[in-house]
């Protein structure tokens, strides 16, 4: 589909028309997240939280129908989008302050039960099911970078609207998994090099990578609160000058590569100088110990030592004579 065909079909930006929103159209058609947040915000202690569970379960029924109708062999995108929805629900529930711990846990259990049912519809068993924060952070990164590539044409035609959409899409999850805004990410393999603030990454459309993203995995992602250590961990081994047009590097990563290369060059220069000095020293040692020049130097040195020792012995005697006899001038008496 070309950019012109997108403009011809729809002059306004619509989330449900995005290529990345497959299996998630119900989110935008029904405004389910807005309704869920409204229901949670109006919740008072003692209210029946089952109504909230009912909203969630009804939407899972719609996901079930959409997957049945549209799923072919899109296992990867199905996993990414279903996991996104689960992570979004978890972030909403976990971030709310209106539930007791027991009620919060009960709602999360219901969500995870529905999650497992959804994954069994088309036997999509390979979807990641880890729920620790680090796993959620990494799969969100993978979804974002895949979605940007899928939505590339929409981004070109609706840049401002898409950027606003990114805030709506990610802010709730980001607040849950990086509330202090102190995380940084590094994505690095043979064809991608990105280093960025975690939150900034999700609000940017700069990371449209026209490469085979199927080779990208969570193992290529490093997350840290230490920006300096993350920069120092950049590997020159992964960087290639071949097929540059098929690679994806951001500005920060390239600058760090230049800095690392410069530091390594400086170290190499220092080592070269040190090796040269060491080599010259070894040559001098060899000449001193095993050549006639060395014998000559040793004789000359020995002679100088003897002279200095004689002078050292005679100087005290001169001082002693001076003290005992006083200064005098010698002369030849025959001249008189």
The confidence score (pLDDT) of residue 5 equals 47
The confidence score (pLDDT) of residue 23 equals 74
**Which is nearest to 79 in space by CA: 107, 111, 110, 121?**
121
Tabulate helix, strand, coil % of the chain (nearest 5).
70, 5, 25
The confidence score (pLDDT) of residue 16 equals 84
The confidence score (pLDDT) of residue 183 equals 94
**Which band of pLDDT confidence, cut at 50, 70 and 90, is reported for residue 2?**
very low
The confidence score (pLDDT) of residue 321 equals 52
Do you know the residue count of the chain?
336
> Taking 60 as the threshold, does the pLDDT of residue 246 lie above it?
no
Q: How does pLDDT run across 179-208, given as a tens digit for each residue? A: 788 899 999 988 888 999 999 999 999 988
Average pLDDT taken over every residue of the chain: 77
2 or 230: which carries more pLDDT confidence? 230
Q: How does pLDDT run across 276-328, given as a tens digit for each residue? A: 777 767 776 765 566 665 566 656 666 656 555 555 555 555 455 545 555 44
3-state secondary structure of 223: strand
Q: How does pLDDT run across 51-65, given as a tens digit for each residue? A: 888 888 888 887 777
Q: Could you tell me the residue ranges of all domains in the chain?
A: 3-176, 252-318
Q: What is the mean pLDDT of residues 87-106?
A: 89
The confidence score (pLDDT) of residue 64 equals 78
What is the signed CA dihedral for 192, 197, 203, 206, rounded to 10 degrees? -30
Share of the chain above pLDDT 70, in %: 68
The confidence score (pLDDT) of residue 202 equals 95
The confidence score (pLDDT) of residue 61 equals 80
The confidence score (pLDDT) of residue 127 equals 72
Q: What is the mean pLDDT of residues 127-152?
A: 90
Give yes or no for a contact between 221 and 187, defined as CB atoms under 8 angstroms apart. yes
Q: What is the mean pLDDT of residues 146-171?
A: 94
* Residue 127 structure tokens: 């979807």
> Taking 70 as the threshold, does the pLDDT of residue 27 lie above it?
yes
């Amino acid at each position: 589909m070309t950019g012109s065909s997108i403009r011809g079909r729809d002059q306004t930006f619509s989330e449900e028309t995005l290529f990345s929103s497959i299996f998630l159209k119900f989110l935008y058609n029904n405004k389910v997240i807005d309704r869920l947040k409204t229901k949670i915000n109006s919740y008072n202690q003692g209210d029946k939280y089952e109504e909230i569970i009912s909203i969630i379960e009804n939407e899972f029924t719609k996901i079930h129908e959409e997957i049945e109708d549209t799923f072919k062999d899109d296992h990867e995108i199905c996993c990414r989008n279903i996991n996104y929805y689960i992570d979004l629900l978890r972030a909403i529930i976990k971030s709310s302050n209106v539930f007791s711990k027991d009620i919060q846990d009960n709602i999360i259990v219901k969500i995870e039960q529905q999650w497992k049912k959804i994954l069994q519809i088309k036997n999509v068993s390979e979807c990641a099911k880890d729920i620790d924060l680090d796993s959620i952070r990494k799969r969100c990164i993978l979804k974002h970078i895949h979605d940007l590539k899928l939505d590339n044409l929409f981004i070109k035609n609706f840049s401002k609207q898409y950027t606003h959409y990114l805030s709506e899409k990610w802010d709730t999850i980001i607040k849950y998994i990086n509330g202090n805004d102190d995380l940084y990410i590094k994505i690095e393999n043979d064809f991608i090099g990105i280093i960025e603030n975690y939150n900034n990454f999700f609000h940017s459309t700069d990371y449209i990578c026209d490469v085979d993203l199927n080779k990208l995995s969570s193992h290529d992602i490093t997350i840290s609160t230490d920006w300096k250590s993350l920069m120092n961990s950049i590997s020159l081994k992964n960087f290639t000058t071949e097929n540059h047009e098929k690679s994806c590097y951001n500005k920060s990563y390239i600058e760090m590569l230049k800095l690392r290369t410069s530091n390594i060059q400086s170290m190499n220069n220092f080592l070269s100088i040190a090796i040269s000095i060491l080599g010259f020293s070894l040559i001098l040692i060899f000449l001193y110990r095993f050549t006639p020049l060395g014998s000559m130097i040793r004789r000359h040195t020995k002679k100088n030592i003897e002279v200095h020792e004689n002078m050292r012995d005679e100087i005290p005697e001169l001082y002693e004579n001076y003290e005992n006899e006083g200064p005098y001038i010698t002369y030849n008496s025959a001249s008189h």
